[in-house]
Amino acid sequence: MDTKTEALARTPLYDLHLELGARMVPFAGYEMPVQYPTGVLKEHTHTRTQAGLFDVSHMGQVRLTGPDAAAALETLVPVDIIDLPVGMQRYAMFTNERGGILDDLMVSNGGDHLFVVVNAACKQQDLAHMQKHLGGRCTIEALDDRALLALQGPAAAAVMARLAPETASMVFMKTGKVNLAGTECFISRSGYTGEDGYEISVPNHKAEELARLLLAQPEVAPIGLGARDSLRLEAGLCLYGHDMDENTTPVEASLAWALSKSRRADGARAGGYLGADVVLHQLAEGATRKRVGLLVKDRMPVREGAELVDASGRSIGKVTSGSFGPTVSAPVAMGYVETDAARIGTALQAIVRGKPVPVEVAKTPFTPQRYYRG
For 21-30, write each residue's pLDDT tens digit.
Answer: 999 999 999 9
Residue 4 pLDDT: 46
Q: Per-residue confidence at 348, pLDDT binned at 50, 70, 90?
A: very high
What phi, psi does 171 have (nearest 5°)? -115, 175
For 120-153, write each residue's pLDDT tens digit.
Answer: 999 999 999 999 999 999 999 999 999 999 999 9
Q: Is the pLDDT of residue 94 over 60?
A: yes
Q: How far apart are CA 215 and CA 127, in angstroms?
A: 33
Q: How far apart are CA 174 and CA 25, in angstroms?
A: 33
Residue 5 pLDDT: 56
Q: How far apart are CA 74 and CA 90, in angstroms?
A: 12
Residue 3 pLDDT: 40
What's at 310, amino acid-wise? D
β-strand 51-55 against 220-222: which pairing, if any?
parallel
Residue 116 pLDDT: 98
pTM of the model: 0.96
Q: How far apart are CA 134 and CA 45, in angstroms?
A: 43
What phi, psi does 70 have (nearest 5°)? -65, -45
Q: How far apart are CA 94 and CA 151, in angstroms?
A: 26
Residue 1 pLDDT: 42
For 251-276, write each residue's pLDDT tens digit.
Answer: 999 999 999 999 999 999 999 999 99
For 294-319, write each residue's pLDDT tens digit.
Answer: 999 999 899 999 999 999 999 999 99
Residue 289 pLDDT: 98
Q: How far apart are CA 321 and CA 238, in angstroms?
A: 9
C-alpha to C-alpha distances, 305 to 27, 102, 104, 355, nearest whole angstrom: 19, 20, 21, 14
For 164-194, write each residue's pLDDT tens digit.
Answer: 999 999 999 999 999 999 999 999 999 999 9
The stretch 43-48 carries a mean pLDDT of 98
Q: Is the pLDDT of residue 31 over 50?
A: yes
Q: Is the pLDDT of residue 199 over 70?
A: yes
For 352-361, write each residue's pLDDT tens digit.
Answer: 999 999 999 9
Q: How far apart are CA 118 and CA 122, in angstroms?
A: 7
Q: How far apart are CA 82 and CA 91, in angstroms?
A: 14
CA angle 223, 226, 229 (to 5 degrees): 100
What phi, psi does 219 have (nearest 5°)? -85, -10
CA angle 48, 53, 55 (to 5 degrees): 130
